[in-house]
Amino acid sequence: MKKLIAEINTLVDAIKADIDKSEGNKAAAARVRKATLELEKVGKEFRKASIAAAKK
């Protein structure tokens, strides 16, 4: 679960950096969109892991 949290933090940091650059920069905007999709996937994995941990 710590690995997922670290991955979420890394993705959020990358998104924050690219959001600052995305004003008028199509490549940065594309990276933001791609990273948010990846964040969604990791978020789902985290949700599954947290539910499993709560059941233990």
Contacts of 39 (CB under 8 A, 6+ apart): 8, 11, 12, 15
Q: In whole angstroms, give the CA distance from residue 2 to residue 44.
A: 15
Furthest-apart CA atoms within the chain: distance in Å: 48
Rounded to 5 degrees, what angle do the CA atoms 39, 24, 31 make? Answer: 20
Token digits for 16? 């924050």
The tally of domains found in the chain comes to 1
Give the chain's mean pLDDT: 93
Q: Return the pLDDT at 13.
A: 95
3-state secondary structure of 47: helix
**Percent above pLDDT 90 for the chain:** 86
Residue 45, pLDDT score: 96
> pTM for the full model?
0.81
**Domain range for 27:** 2-55
What percentage of the chain carries pLDDT values higher than 70?
100
User: pLDDT per residue over 8-26, tens digit each?
Assistant: 999 999 999 999 888 888 9
